[in-house]
Amino acid sequence: MLQIVAIRRMVNLCLFVTSSTKLLNNYGLARSINNFRYYFTNLKRGYSVFPSNYIRPVYNKEEQETLFQSDEVKKIIHEQIKPALATDTCSEFYDKRVLKFINTLMKNGNKKLATMLVMKTFEGVKRIQLERYHKATTSEAKAEIELDPFVIFHRAVDNCIPILQLTNCSKGGITYQVPIPITPLKAQHKSMLWLIQAANEKDSHLRFYDVLAKELVAASQNQGRAVKWKQELYKKCQANRAYAHFRWM
């Protein structure tokens, strides 16, 4: 109840600031008012649907078993819990990285289409590997061929993950490209973007999921355009290593 009252007061304050801005705009005094309105607008956006005392739901069975075996379950047994997201599931086929790849591929909120493209891509990866498996003549060659498309997907993403990135740094009127370390989440996102971009650069008569399947298989073997772009990024970082000390400026 108190939060609803606070939000209403902030909304009324924002309306008052907006009307005051229009009045003072002709006198050149609206800049400070705009800064004031920006602060309270961002403060209002910071509110969540659930209060901060609500805890995150535990939907994974392994985490639930670990929780029940420890003494932490007694501390949170009477706590209020947030509802689980629509994508949270305890299914055996749930993969957080695949879900992240679907969200990266999605455009205009069409998640159904993105999921269909990823599933057809995995189907294409399975077919490519089965063809190689049946063409292999020896049992040793067949044993080296991976048939699980999820394993190939994880290998492809791991092989394309960079550990450095280039950022612009201005010094003395000159802009330098400075190599700096990249965070794991950003590196994974960059790897997925490279794979999607490599599949988008295709001929018009080819289907997207067929090209993406070939790119995943190639990237799992440290080949393909996505791996090439990562190596080119490393070459640029190596060429600009003399400016690495600018990252602290």
Q: CA 228, 231, 232: angle at the middle one, nearest 5?
A: 85
Q: Residue 6: count other Cβ atoms within 10 Å of its Cβ.
A: 13
pLDDT digits (tens, 9 = 90+) for 137-195: 888 989 999 999 999 999 999 999 999 999 888 888 888 888 999 999 999 999 999 99
Mean pLDDT for the chain? Answer: 82
* Model pTM score: 0.71
Q: What are the structure tokens assigned to 79, written together? A: 């706590």
Given a cut of 50, whether residue 8 has pLDDT beyond it is yes
pLDDT at 46: 43
Say what angle helices 184-200 and 149-160 make with each other, to 10 degrees: 110
Given a cut of 60, whether residue 45 has pLDDT beyond it is no
From residue 161, alpha-carbon distances to 125, 169, 212, 238, 244 in Å are 20, 23, 17, 17, 20
CB 130 within 8 A of CB 147: yes
Give percent above pLDDT 70 in the chain. 80
pLDDT digits (tens, 9 = 90+) for 99-149: 999 999 999 999 999 999 999 999 999 999 999 999 998 889 899 999 999
- Can you tell me the distance from the alpha carbon of 141 to that of 4, in angstroms, rounded to the nearest whole number? 66
CB 136 within 8 A of CB 142: yes
CB 199 within 8 A of CB 211: yes
Given a cut of 90, whether residue 249 has pLDDT beyond it is no
Looking at per-residue pLDDT, the higher value among 24 and 204 belongs to 204
Q: What are the structure tokens assigned to 82, written together? A: 């947030």
